[in-house]
Chain A
Amino acid sequence: MVGDELSQVESATTGSNPGEAWSRKGVGLELKGLERSFGATRALDGLTLSVKAGELVVFLGPSGCGKTTALRAIAGLEPLDGGRIEIEGQDISGTPTSKREMGMVFQAYSLFPNMTVAQNIAYGLKLRKFDKSKIDGRVAEMLKLVRLGEQADRYPKQLSGGQQQRVALARALAISPKVLLLDEPLSALDAKVRVQLREEIRRIQLEFGITTIFVTHDQDEALAIADRIAVLNQGNIEQFGTPDEVYLHPASPFVASFVGHVNHLRGRVISQGRASVFGVEVSSDRFDRYSVGEELEVLVRPESISISRSENSNATVSAVGFMGSTLNVMAATDDGTLVRAAITFREGEMIRGGDRVRLNIEGGVLFATVAKG
């Protein structure tokens, strides 16, 4: 799947491929039992992960889950209390940041304000003592790559936020790093620019075939850009898988709630593998291990809820969000539960606030746990 995308991008770009000249083919990255504590808080609690060569892995999680700490540890900006980081099979845990050959893009404002765009991109190359002609050539290529050739002599403060981040990306890639590290690079940008730039990052990443770690707390961003997503929680990995795996088969209720929307509903087991949820009978193997009469919390995706107009209605629509091809419906069931449903919209079948409808659970149950309280 990744290969297909790659060849598409390559055929789309005309002329020379800027990555070709000096890109190393991506390298594998191994994180083995990373540990890091801040006082009593364990920011990394034995985090272990294997990133394949040329892969884009997203670290996704709420704030404080350790995703940024993990990224900074890979860059060498955060010391580790334990564990190893390996690149191409070599332990780099003791290597200082400046020798790690990692390209890093920060949240914002990381360009050197005293240097022009071109000087910023040339910085890492100058430190490597390249010839002036070689530096100029590479800077020009990088500027072309991020489409900022016109801005070469501008200073960072004369650029928009999105342009600044593109320069930061060009600067990080100019040194042809082994691994590209992106620390919430889009979080300070407007929604529209954010989507444009994430597509641009993905295009460039595939073009270079560079192993990339992308940190974000935005699940849409993660699902859109990743080859694989590592969902982090409390310093460890809850699930590591492709976007569809993580979305369709979340490994834990935490992942289910964090990636995509989910309804937390009350249910009661009525027979083996069957439960009643807001008066609707649902079958699922998720109920198998609970005994009859037990109260459960049942996690259901909005798109697993169906809405129909039938005689025996069980809910009243409270709000409808029109999203073009889908409708986001909030409905209150007769027993007082608020349910969120996402349904495909067909013209002439508009649902409006106040409508009486029949809700069913048809798409399956993600999780069922014993209800608290």
Chain B
Amino acid sequence: MATITTSLQGSLQGSSEKSVKAVHGRVLGVGRRYRTVVLVLTALFFLVPVVASLRYSVVGNNNSISFSSYGAIFSDPQFFSSLFTSFKIAIGTVAITVFLVTPTVVWARLRRPDLMSALESVALLPLIVPSVVVTLGILSAFASLPNIIMGSPVILALEYVVLALPYTFRSIDAGAGAIDIRTLVEASRSLGGGWIATLMRVIIPNLKSGILSAVFLSTAFVFGEFAVASLMSFSTFPVWLVQVGQDRASESVALSVVALLLTWGGLVAVSIAGLRSTRRRSAVIEDELFAFGEQL
């Protein structure tokens, strides 16, 4: 009996040592070779169109390399005006979203957790209701607003706040779900923090990743939305991009490359800013905000 046990233990130990070694190369039973293949395929899937577009956009007459299509884009006044329009809409959308959704989520999680599932389904509605219906709905709902809103891209920002809600609400809510808001609020209050100090110094810094991803998502949404903007005949960046694509093929590809780089650069800039502010600036900014809050 004893010998059986020892030999069993021996073989068990041996096999577990082997399997530990094997585990380093095999995650979830997937071999290194297989992982490499998957990675390469995925990289190809994303890179091939980009490289192809890049190549296509720099081919001039007689297969020579030429940047003429890029020159054509940058010399087109529509490029900057449409980009600027979209940029303004993006800022408006982001601002309204963050200042509307963050306090709502915090308040609901803190005071009315029973409302959370209802809020969540309301936030998902724009995915279910066709965007044209939402557009028309918002137009008729805001019909009485002055022309400065109805006739300007401001109305588009309002539209996009609603249309991007499924993504922005979820990312802020996920951030809020990752921390124990109630306890953090109570701890801050018991240490002498008023509501503004608690929000600025404790809640928002800890929701930063959720808020940042909401910012990314709504920005990306604004720079990619064509249907509603075109329907309301605003010349946003995507609308102009489609127009260019219809009659100037190589320029439209060059434009896509520029748009890609702009978005990518923007994301990098925002995430660097986000990271840095966590480390250095947050203390200063929070102190300023706090002083401001106290004055209120």
Contact = CB atoms under 8 A, between A and B. Distances in A.
Interface of A: 75-77, 96-104, 106, 109-114, 123-124, 127-128, 168, 171-172, 175, 181
Interface stretch (B140-148, B185-193, B245-253): B185-193
Contacts of B282: 114
Size band of the interface chain B makes with A:
20 to 34
Contacts of B202: 112, 114
Interface in B185-222: 186-194, 197, 201-202, 205-206, 208
Interface stretch (B33-41, B121-129, B176-184, B223-231): B176-184
Contacts of A111: 187
Contacts of A127: 191-193, 197
A103 to B, nearest CB: 7
A103 B190 contact: yes
Given A77-B186, A113-B179, A128 B192 contact: yes
Contact of B206 (A76, A110, A114): A114
Nearest to B294: A129
B206 A113 contact: yes
27 contacts: A75-B186, A77-B186, A77-B189, A77-B190, A98-B190, A98-B194, A99-B192, A100-B190, A101-B192, A106-B187, A109-B180, A110-B184, A110-B186, A111-B187, A112-B188, A112-B202, A112-B205, A113-B179, A113-B206, A114-B206, A123-B191, A123-B201, A127-B191, A127-B192, A168-B187, A175-B191, A181-B190
Contacts, number: 71
B238 to A, nearest CB: 36
Contacts of A114: 202, 205-206, 208, 278, 282
B192 A75 contact: no
Determine which residue in A101, A106, A114, A123 has the highest number of CB atoms from chain B within 10 A of its CB, and name it: A114
Contacts of B278: 114
Contacts of A123: 188, 191, 193, 201
Ranked nearest first, the 5 interchain pairs of A and B with the lowest CB-CB distance are A124-B191, A104-B190, A114-B205, A97-B189, A110-B187
A97 B205 contact: no
Which of A75, A109, A123 gathers the greatest number of chain B CB atoms within 10 Å? A123
A76 B194 CA distance: 13
Interface string B263-296: 0000000000000001000100000000000000
A97 B187 contact: no
Contact of A112 (B184, B189, B190, B208): B184
A96 B189 CA distance: 9
A168 B205 CA distance: 19
Contacts of B190: 75, 77, 97-98, 100, 102-104, 172, 181
